[in-house]
Amino acid sequence: MLTLAPRRRLASSVSSALAALVLTCTPAVAAPAAADPPAAVGTVGVPDFARITQRYGPAVVNISVSGVRQVTVGPETADPTSDDSDADSMQQFLRRFQQQFGGSGASMQVPVRGQGSGFIVSEDGLILTNAHVIASAHDVVVKLTDRREFRAQVLGSDKRTDIAVLRIDAKQLPTVKVGNPTELQVGQWVLAIGSPFGFENSVSAGVVSAKGRSLPDGSGVPFIQTDAAVNPGNSGGPLFNARGEVVGINSQIYSRTGGFQGLSFAIPIDIALKVQQQIVATGHVSHGLLGVTVQEMNQALSEAFKLSAPMGALVLDTLRGSPGAQAGLLPGDVILKVEGRPIAAAADLQTLVTLAQPGQHLVFDVWREGRSLRLEVTLGDAGKPVSLPPQPPRDAYLQGHFGLQLRPLLPAERLAIGVVEGVLVDVVEGPAQLAGVQAGDVILAIAGKTVATIDQAREAFKASGGTVALLVQRGNERLFVPVRPAEAPR
């Protein structure tokens, strides 16, 4: 069976943890050229898919890859979802070797072979495909529908968007026509050309099931969801609209079995072309970095934050030293707009930042504690580590006498916990740890005195003069914890 290896298991938020996003693959077969398909096709009736296939099928190519992959097997390590039979056999050998002779692990380079698809976007040999199709490949061979074969040069690839750009040494090649995916409507016809399971030049049709789908792969790509049959072997192949224009690149399926189950996902072609331009110009791709973690808003949260409707992206956390933190974004902020563009869902923010460039200046409309404000953010580079500022100084008295590092509660934390006052235990050691205090506990009162700031906490500890009773909230429970101070550090 001719399939490309990588397959990613993901827990389904709808049904069960057995569901999986599967990276797929593709090729094509020669067909006689024909006149262009109709310039426009309405939503009534079925488009002439035969003419689209005849006209643009020759621009779809078969990609064969070979290379090596490092396989490491420990006592409990293996990849049960791998499609690579060579790698699986080697893992089984290494496991048997380990069981017989012992050892902490074994590794070996094993051959990797796979097939995928791509399509020609320029007459001089520029080809788009998926990044996972050519991952770990040393040799990439492109086969045209007229049976000519070329060794391809990988100009570059981008794992985040799963786009790769190849070039072959050929001229006057057939090309696809590029469409506008923003004009696609849910329910419109689409066509996929590829080689599922190695069956070359297979054509499947379906409709657009949804647009702007966010998948739990962290890519930030707003996928086009369709019900066109896409299987292992289809990756990198084009998704055509009813006019015969490429609107996407088939990339993933959602499946419990590894085969098509009615859900396939394509990368919008406009995103792929932006990646292509960067790769052709520089050989690599840069993505913007905000450095915040966000979650979806729902009705209950919108009421809690006094919003008129569930909208925007709720900030859960900010990475210290990140562009978002430097711009003043705080946990509990709701990002409603970026550059005047409404953020309807958390995925909208992720997509916008992913496709932006490092150094780009963006204006954020933020909802904070019942009022609107604007923040200017200069995005960082997702490909570079964030330079962290120095840690704030520790409170010497609390650290030395009780082994505590405290910080004030953030507005979002107060709302989630349901408290007005209190300080959070950030780090615990020494006497407090021995007494049972845990990191993440919220200290509501010290020796009967409520506290809301670090200064108040320090003064309450000092006033106790000995063993002090802490009123702690841990999850939904409250309890008193007596803590005996250590001797003052010398």
Q: Which residues are catalytic?
A: 132, 162, 235
- Structure-block tokens of residue 106: 């074994």
Residue whose C-alpha is closest to residue 320's, from 380, 383, 399 = 380
Q: At residue 372, what is the residue type?
A: S
C-alpha dist (Å) from residue 335 to 31, 355, 360, 386: 51, 17, 18, 22
Angle in degrees, CA 84, 89, 91, rounded to 5:
95
Please state, in angstroms and rounded to a whole number, the distance separating the CA atoms of residues 206 and 226: 7
**In sequence order, what are the residues at sequence separation of 6 or more whose Cβ sits closer than 8 angstroms to the Cβ of residue 330?**
315, 318, 368, 410, 411, 412
Query: Exposure of 245 by Cβ count < 10 A (0-12 exposed, 13-18 middle, 19+ buried)?
Result: buried
- HSE at residue 236, side-chain half, CA atoms within 13 A, is 37
Residue whose C-alpha is closest to residue 484's, from 467, 472, 469, 471 = 467
Please state, in angstroms and rounded to a whole number, the distance separating the CA atoms of residues 402 and 483: 8
Q: DSSP strand E in 152-228: where?
A: 153-158, 163-167, 177-178, 189-194, 202-213, 223-226
Cβ count near 375 (within 10 Å): 17
- Give bridge partners of residue 114 from the DSSP assignment: 65
Residue whose C-alpha is closest to residue 417's, from 335, 475, 330 = 475
Cβ count near 355 (within 10 Å): 18
Q: What is the dihedral of CA 264, 137, 150, 230, to 10 degrees?
A: -10
Q: At residue 228, what is the residue type?
A: A
